[in-house]
């Protein structure tokens, strides 16, 4: 790299300075200037030298460094480029032509599932039908270029819906374009497409993104090659629904004249051990499957500065954690989310290494190379096998039935193969089996072959069939006004017992990871997993409680005007963002600002689970009549069972009146609770306001469009 050079072409210098020197020499003004003192002479000389320096900048000195941008590139961006990411245009039509692709598989994903489905579909399209399909992140192409895709190509959409019918972050460009073609009545008759949606029927707007996109394309005269289909994660059926849809897609290909062939396993990545020790440490923070954007911050290490238990008794834990932002550039706003990046527990890491028969190679350096230029690697390279399994793959998740069938070809014994085929070929039987048994890939392998390791199973198969490790999101329970450099999390520790003769428990990955790092005592009556802690400094010399996290912006915000009344409806840890809301309103009230009336609905099991009770009572003293708290206990001994949605229904007339008078309503908690609240308020609105069904819907949609009715919910 070069910042300064003295190599000068004198003839070029003379030609560049000649016009200026001629102007100076012939100027009558300069001819009459005669320095009368030494100071005047120095001033003239200084002027001429300054002029010379200015004219030669960027040519003789301070020449541009062609590699200057490297200083600002994120390492993971460089890595992704080195593994074959060759996108040179944002025009998808041109990209298909230049790359010789027959179709593009667009994915819109918040958790990574749609992306994995896209990669799987692309691989199988090529192996079974020879169809060269481009896997494409929707954010990497201009959505309007989709309209220019030629009829000899086709487009496949895999679109997820989350929250209250919201598109994933990387789908925003498509979402805006769809609105344009819908509102302006544009025609895109040459486009051929297929579409599959990922959603959860517990949510009110189940698979809304798929329906909005497909409806708009159909109205614009695009040709749907087959009816849209939906995956429902309410009962964990997304994998099965995708498999059913994929079978229909392959039937379509056969009807279109594509020849199908049976193929053996062909990897999309190669995994090779180098036989050498890894030089230096893998920077987990910069290598995770994460894309910084206007919505998501960079990943940063945060230290747990404070932790305490919120439940007064019982066999469950609910933690309050405070994370220090330190000197990082990360900022948050009240109502935002924090994404926690967990690691896998040591027991499950060992279980998978044992099943594969590679315990002795856990610390060996390996390289991972992609054989498909459009696919991203799930882990850095080079690295070690243990690092890949512990930090980059979802080894604790359930196994799809399709994976069971694919795994059978590598079974170490005929009996193991027969076991896998029996479950893989019978959907009902496999669903019964997984309902009462905690099945991960390693557990499945040990179940099918308890006495023999899977030596013939390629590591490439493991990497391909396991999801990339994803963050888990929590509503931030602190106020950025009160605590700008410290983030609070309210986390329930999940340990789900399974029915059946052999007791089994599914441990929530991230909640137990946080509990382990918090150093709080567990209230559970079952052994908990153990996790490897991350050191508190970058050099790994200080043991401590550092976790990796990033901030995700949210639209779940307080109104600008503090006098706006609030209706807050929550259950359990859904109270988290409302803790911050109350803190801000109490602070404004203390400063003499006008504060609107707040009605807080809070539901939980019993009085022992009444989280932040002391703080809420303090808020009541601070805010006086401006805060009313209405509780609902569903399992309180000696009391009538009441759920929060029932309490809202009892006060529906007051809630509706407050909404009509300009109040903002916020709902936070499980999607099923939010759907119940919506339904009961809509029924009440029809009754109290005398509205027909269509009028009630219009009333609700109007409130939501104006930001007066907001929800932050999860499955």
Query: Tens digit of pLDDT for each residue in 284-317?
Result: 877 787 878 888 999 999 999 999 999 999 999 9
190-to-70, 221, 571 alpha-carbon distances in Å: 42, 8, 49
Residue-wise pLDDT for 41-92, tens only, equals 666 677 677 666 656 555 555 544 443 333 333 333 333 333 334 446 899 9
* Mean pLDDT computed over 391-409: 94
> Which residues sit opposite 495 in a β-bridge?
507
- For residues 330 and 551, the answer to whether their CB atoms sit within 8 Å is yes
d(CA 87, CA 92): 10
3-state helix, strand, coil in the chain (%, to 5): 40, 20, 40
> Which residues sit opposite 133 in a β-bridge?
103
* Mean pLDDT computed over 8-32: 43
pLDDT of residue 60: 55
* Mean pLDDT computed over 248-268: 90
d(CA 302, CA 308): 17
* Mean pLDDT computed over 450-458: 95
* Mean pLDDT computed over 678-688: 94
d(CA 122, CA 131): 8
Q: Could you identify the residue written with the tokens 């807080």?
A: 600
Residues 513-516: contacts with CB under 8 Å, at least 24 apart: 513/340, 513/342, 513/343, 513/345, 513/547, 514/319, 514/321, 514/340, 514/342, 514/489, 514/547, 515/317, 515/319, 515/491
pLDDT of residue 5: 36
* Mean pLDDT computed over 614-641: 95
pLDDT of residue 277: 76
d(CA 429, CA 420): 11
Mean pLDDT of the chain: 86
Domains of the chain: 1-72 (no CATH), 79-255 (3.40.50.360), 566-714 (3.40.50.80)
Q: Could you identify the residue written with the tokens 């932040």?
A: 612
Residue-wise pLDDT for 136-180, tens only, equals 999 999 999 999 999 999 999 999 998 778 898 899 999 999 999
pLDDT of residue 44: 64
Task: Report pTM.
Answer: 0.78
Distance of CA 547 to the CA centre of its chain: 17
């Amino acid at each position: 790299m070069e910042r300064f050079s003295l190599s000068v072409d004198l003839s070029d210098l003379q030609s560049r300075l000649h016009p200026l020197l001629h102007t100076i020499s012939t100027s009558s003004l300069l001819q009459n200037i005669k320095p009368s003192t030494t100071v005047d002479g120095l001033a003239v000389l200084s002027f001429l030298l300054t002029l010379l320096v200015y004219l030669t900048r960027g040519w003789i000195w301070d020449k541009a460094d062609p590699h200057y941008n490297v200083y600002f590139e994120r390492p993971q961006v460089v890595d992704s480029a080195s593994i074959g990411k060759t996108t040179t245009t944002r025009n998808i039509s041109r990209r298909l032509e230049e790359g010789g692709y027959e179709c593009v598989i667009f994915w819109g994903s918040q958790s990574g599932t749609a992306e994995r489905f896209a990669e799987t579909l692309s691989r199988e399209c090529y192996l079974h039908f020879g169809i060269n399909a481009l896997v494409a992140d929707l954010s990497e192409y201009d959505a309007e270029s989709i309209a220019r895709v030629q009829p000899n190509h086709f487009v496949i959409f895999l679109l997820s819906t989350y929250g209250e019918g919201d598109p994933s972050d990387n789908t925003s460009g498509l979402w805006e374009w769809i609105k344009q073609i819908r509102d302006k009545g544009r025609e895109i008759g040459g486009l051929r497409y297929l579409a599959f949606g990922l959603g959860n029927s517990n949510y009110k707007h189940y698979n809304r993104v798929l329906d909005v996109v497909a409806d708009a394309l159909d109205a614009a005269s695009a040709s749907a090659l087959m009816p849209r289909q939906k995956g429902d994660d309410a009962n964990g059926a997304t994998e099965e629904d995708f498999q059913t849809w994929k079978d229909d897609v392959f039937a379509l290909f056969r009807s279109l004249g594509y020849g199908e062939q049976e193929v053996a396993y062909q990897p999309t990545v190669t995994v090779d051990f180098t036989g050498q020790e890894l030089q230096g440490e893998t920077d987990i923070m910069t290598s995770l499957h994460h894309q910084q954007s206007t919505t998501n911050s960079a990943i940063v290490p945060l230290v747990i500065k404070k932790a305490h238990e919120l439940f007064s008794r019982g066999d469950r834990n609910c933690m309050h954690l405070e994370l220090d932002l330190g000197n990082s550039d990360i900022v948050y706003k009240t109502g935002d989310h924090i994404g926690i990046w967990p690691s896998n527990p040591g027991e499950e890491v060992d279980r998978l290494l044992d099943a594969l028969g590679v315990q002795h190679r856990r610390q060996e350096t390996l390289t991972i190379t992609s054989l498909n230029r459009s696919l991203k690697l799930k882990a850095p390279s080079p690295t070690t096998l243990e690092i890949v399994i512990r930090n980059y793959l979802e080894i604790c998740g359930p196994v799809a039935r399709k994976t069971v069938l694919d795994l059978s070809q590598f079974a170490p014994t005929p009996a193991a193969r027969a076991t896998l085929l029996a479950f893989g070929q019978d959907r009902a039987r496999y669903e019964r089996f997984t309902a009462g048994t905690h099945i991960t890939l390693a557990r499945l392998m040990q179940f099918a072959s308890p006495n023999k390791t899977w030596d013939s199973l390629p590591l490439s198969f493991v990497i391909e069939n396991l999801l990339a490790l994803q963050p888990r999101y929590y509503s931030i329970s602190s106020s950025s006004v009160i605590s700008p450099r410290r983030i609070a999390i309210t986390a329930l520790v999940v340990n789900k017992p399974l029915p059946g003769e052999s007791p089994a428990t599914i441990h929530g990955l991230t909640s137990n990871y946080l509990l382990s790092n918090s150093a709080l005592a567990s209230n559970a009556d079952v052994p908990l997993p153990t996790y490897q802690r991350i050191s508190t400094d970058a050099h790994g010399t200080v043991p401590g409680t550092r976790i990796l996290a990033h901030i995700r912006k949210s639209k779940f915000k307080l109104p600008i005007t503090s006098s706006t009344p609030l209706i807050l409806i929550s259950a359990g840890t859904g109270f988290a963002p409302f803790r911050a809301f109350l803190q801000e309103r109490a602070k404004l009230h203390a400063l003499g600002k006008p504060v609107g009336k707040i009605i807080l609905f809070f539901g939980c099991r019993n009085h022992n689970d009444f989280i932040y009770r002391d703080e809420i009572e303090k808020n009541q003293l601070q805010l006086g009549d401006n805060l009313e708290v209405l509780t609902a206990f569903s399992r309180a001994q000696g009391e009538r069972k009441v759920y929060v949605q029932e309490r809202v229904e009892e006060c529906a007339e007051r809630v509706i009146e407050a909404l009509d008078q300009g109040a903002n309503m916020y709902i936070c908690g499980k999607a099923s609770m939010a759907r119940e609240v919506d339904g009961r308020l809509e029924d009440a609105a029809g009754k109290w306001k005398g509205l027909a069904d269509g009028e009630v819907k219009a009333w609700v949609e109007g409130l939501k469009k104006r930001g007066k009715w907001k929800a932050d919910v999860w499955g």
